[in-house]
Amino acid sequence: MKAVLTKEVGGPETLVVEQIDSPAPGKGEVLVDVAACAINFPDTLMIRDLYQFKPERPYSPGGEISGTITAVGEGVDGWKVGDRVLSGIGSGGLREQVAVEAGRLFKVPEGVNLVDASALLMTYGTMIHALKDRGDIKPGETVLVLGAAGGVGLASIELAKAYGAKVVAAVSSDDKAKAAVEAGADETVVYPRAPFDKEQSKALAGDFKNAVGPNGADIVVDIVGGDYSEPALRSIAWEGRFLVIGFPAGIAKMPLNLTLLKSCDIRGVFWGAFAARDPKANAQNIADLFEFWKDGKIAPRISETFSLDEAHTAIQKLENREAVGKLVVVMDS
């Protein structure tokens, strides 16, 4: 079978495409013919050995797949050949077939396209956990989303609106602001590119405050980090919740006196660890996502698809923060 492999530490240009042997499902596993593999920010970090998990090389990047079961291993109950599934597997998805632990599978409902399904789990799974479990979101609250036009950002907007919140989307361009509004954002802020000096940081904080209103943002969804985090924290409401999702712009150093002055919380969001520690709660969240999808409240936005041979281009584009919505690698026919 055909696979994208990382054999050395480096960027997308170091990836190679090779023919390798097809896997056989082990005990408790199924074999999935991969239909599509969505690209996510951890993929850009893992190939550079900058992520908390470092699989042994050679391996395939790609932690989010959809496909069809073609073989069932020993001891697997509840799954059969022909079932359409999606799964978060951490890595190994950029190949035509993959063996997956049965406990990591979710059934794709009838009527849902497998390519679309590949774009659901990591972004929306992260954000339903962030907003519901970590953010304690309530109807009528105001949510400020940094990096609102990427896959996670657009999921944040849709889910916050599904929960009855007002959403302010912060983005880096007018085109991305348009995408955020199309996803349901009520207000937008277009911020300049960091780094910021003290006056620029103060000005951005003022822009955020004007957009969220006099009471501040009840929840800040920080997908960006770096110099953008402190201005957002300065716009938070009394007893607000600042959710740390990721930091492609760098790890922020936050002035903790602000947490005292606002009586607010800074809360980490690690969806992968949550899903492993509490699979039952995660499964309920995924079920809720499919209900939201069926009701038309969310719809994964795939802005571009790529072949396996083009997977490095997709990862490079995401790394450069050029993507609006999700980038998905579709297996060659």
Could you tell me if residue 279 is inside a domain?
no
Q: Work out how many domains the chain is built from and give that number.
A: 2
Could you tell me if residue 78 is inside a domain?
yes
Is 333 strand, coil or helix?
coil
Model confidence at 245, pLDDT cuts 50, 70, 90, reads very high
For the purposes of burial, counting CB atoms within 10 Å of the CB of 13, is it exposed (0-12), middle (13-18) or buried (19 or more)?
exposed
pTM exceeds cut of 0.85? yes
Domain match, 101 and 20 both: yes
CA distance 173 to 97: 38
Q: Tell me: the pLDDT tens digits for 41-80?
A: 889 999 999 988 889 999 999 999 999 999 999 999 999 9
Q: Tell me: the pLDDT tens digits for 105-145?
A: 999 998 899 999 999 999 999 999 999 999 999 999 999 99
Q: What is the pLDDT at residue 225?
A: 95
Domain match, 131 and 265 both: yes
Length of the chain: 333
Domain match, 43 and 100 both: yes
Domain match, 215 and 258 both: yes
- Please provide residue 234's backbone torsions phi and psi, each rounded to the nearest 5 degrees: -70, -15
Last residue of a domain, one of 232, 256, 272: 272
- Cβ(111)–Cβ(135) under 8 Å? no
- Cβ(219)–Cβ(241) under 8 Å? yes
Q: How many helices (H) and strands (E) does the chain have?
A: 11, 15
Q: Tell me: the pLDDT tens digits for 169-204?
A: 999 999 999 999 999 999 999 999 999 999 999 999
CA distance 132 to 324: 24
Domain match, 176 and 317 both: no
Could you tell me if residue 287 is inside a domain?
no
- Cβ(318)–Cβ(39) under 8 Å? yes
Domain match, 126 and 37 both: no
CATH code of residue 82:
3.90.180.10
What mean pLDDT value characterizes the chain?
A: 95
**Percent of the chain surpassing pLDDT 70:** 100
Last residue of a domain, one of 232, 253, 272: 272
Q: What is the pLDDT at residue 10?
A: 96
Confidence check: pLDDT of 248 > 90? no
Could you tell me if residue 309 is inside a domain?
yes
Could you tell me if residue 319 is inside a domain?
yes
Domain match, 128 and 22 both: no
Could you tell me if residue 55 is inside a domain?
yes
Which residues lie across from 105 on neighbouring strands?
87
Domain match, 306 and 201 both: no
Domain match, 15 and 72 both: yes
Last residue of a domain, one of 256, 272, 288: 272
Element at 122 (helix H, strand E): helix 121-128
User: How many alpha carbons fall within 13 Å on the CB side of residue 318?
Assistant: 29
Domain that includes residue 240, residue range: 122-272
In the numeric block, which tokens belong to residue 76?
A: 């697997």
Domain match, 126 and 247 both: yes
Domain match, 84 and 96 both: yes
In the numeric block, which tokens belong to residue 28?
A: 């408790």
Domain match, 113 and 129 both: no
Q: What is the pLDDT at residue 272?
A: 87
Confidence check: pLDDT of 333 > 50? no
Could you tell me if residue 166 is inside a domain?
yes
